[in-house]
Amino acid sequence: MHSTKLSHLAETLITSEIVRLGGIIKEKIQAGEKIYNYTIGDFDSSIFPIPSKLKEEIIRSYESGFTTYPAADGEADLRKAVSAFIQRKQGLHYGINEILISNGGRPLIYAIYRSIVDKGDKVIYPVPSWNNNHYTHFNEGIHVTVTAEPGTDFMPTAAQIAPHLKGATLLALCSPLNPTGTVFGKSTLEEICDLVIAENETRSADEKKLYVMYDQIYWTLTFDGIQHHDPVSLRPKMKEYTIFVDGISKAFAATGVRVGWSMGPEIIMGKMKAINSHVGSWAPMAEQKAVARFLQDENAVDEYLSHFKTEVSKRLEQLYLGIIELKSKGFTVDAIKPQAAIYLTVQFDLKGKKTDHGNVLDTQEKVTNYLLDEAKLAMVPFGFFGADRESCWYRISVGCCKLEEIPALMSQLKVSLEKLS
């Protein structure tokens, strides 16, 4: 059988490990197993439906015949609505020429990388973090990873980033962070911004600047007095160097509606628009018209967010308390108190333990498989987010979590931990 040689990218790109894990879980469910599937950063729409007002507007848009090509940078009414929304909610001021619409966050991230990063350019990103390793690979950039630690809630620090800024082209940051559900503190982000500004001031007019990609797709979902911070609000000078990634996917449980936006310097938005227009990654016309009208309905937006945040927070808090109770009973588990997003960071430090069948859990992969087989708990290891493969930390996602199932899960988890010695 002859081999087919394809592009270097096609031959070297790693398939999503979360998707591969999802395949294993699907097989178990099809075989009749009850699995608590907390792997996917998505929502069960029977638990978390999109706002009814948004749904009505989408239907109305299709009935009104909005089924043609949208404007390449997004419909003007949607860009105006986004501008007003972020000004009201975040105090950020962006004109419609500084806003680009796309079908969710991914094409925007791709376009940011493509607009800024050349082959051989340094890209700085923390691990764990979502997909920066793949996007850097797309562009044949130089991976400069900063390993974030539990002591800072897995958020990178200015001290960690500082040594790498010289000659770097892109600093990829995310807050609230996927996979951890933790956020930047104000002083930490201020220190990072000051470093970026200082670095750019050393660069001549004909040198590339250092840009910050700031993914804040989860920013509306913060809990218990936690405040979301962004570079431009903290340091207005950062408006020249910051490109935001944002949208409705997580804020309104609308991952499949596919409407995202980027805000940044007009010249960069123009380049990203050109790239995305060739890829054809615009959000559907009807959804754009619907989101434009929905965002203008302040009461509908605020009522939905209030209820949604309460329901997400309940699940995160109950899971967190369950893990902490197991920790108090002497099990080698831990968790970081929920701060934001739909994720809980948990630790299962079980490597080296023996099962009741005498098998040694001598790798973290065996720990993951044990918890899936015995506790029926499916989570994503931080190793899938660029961290060390033997990291004992995991992401739990509550987008498909039923509140009433949590006590049974915790009971099953306790039994499975008691079997280890």
- CATH 3.90.1150.10 domain span(s) along the chain: 8-48+303-418
Contacts of 36 (CB under 8 A, 6+ apart): 375, 376, 377, 378, 401, 405, 409
Q: How far apart are CA 83 and CA 85, in angstroms?
A: 6
Distances 244 to 111, 183, 193, 254, 398 between C-alpha atoms, Å: 12, 16, 14, 19, 25
pLDDT digits (tens, 9 = 90+) for 376-416: 999 999 999 999 999 999 999 999 999 999 999 999 999 99
Burial class (CB in 10 A: 0-12, 13-18, 19+), 357: exposed
The answer for residues whose C-beta is within 8 angstroms of residue 48's C-beta and 6 or more apart is: 253, 308, 311, 312, 399
Q: What is the mean pLDDT of the chain?
A: 96
- pLDDT for res 209: 98
Instruction: Decide if pLDDT at 4 tops 90.
Output: no
Tell me what pLDDT residue 19 has: 79
State the pLDDT confidence band at 1, using cuts at 50, 70 and 90: low
Q: What residue spans in the chain does CATH classification 3.40.640.10 cover? A: 53-297
Q: Which has the closest alpha carbon to 367: 399, 333, 342?
A: 333
Look up residue 227 and give its two tokens: 């405040």
The fold of the 8-48+303-418 domain, in CATH, is Aspartate Aminotransferase, domain 1 (3.90.1150)
pLDDT of 154 reads 98
Q: How confident is the model at residue 278 (pLDDT cuts 50, 70, 90)?
A: very high
Q: Which of 10-19, 36-45, 199-208 has the lowest mean pLDDT?
A: 10-19
pTM: 0.96
Residue 379 in contact with residue 335, Cβ under 8 Å? no
pLDDT tens-digit profile of 304-331? 999 999 999 999 999 999 999 999 999 9
Question: Could you say which architecture CATH assigns to the domain 53-297?
Answer: 3-Layer(aba) Sandwich (3.40)
* Angle formed at CA 410 by CA 420 and CA 370, multiple of 5 degrees: 40
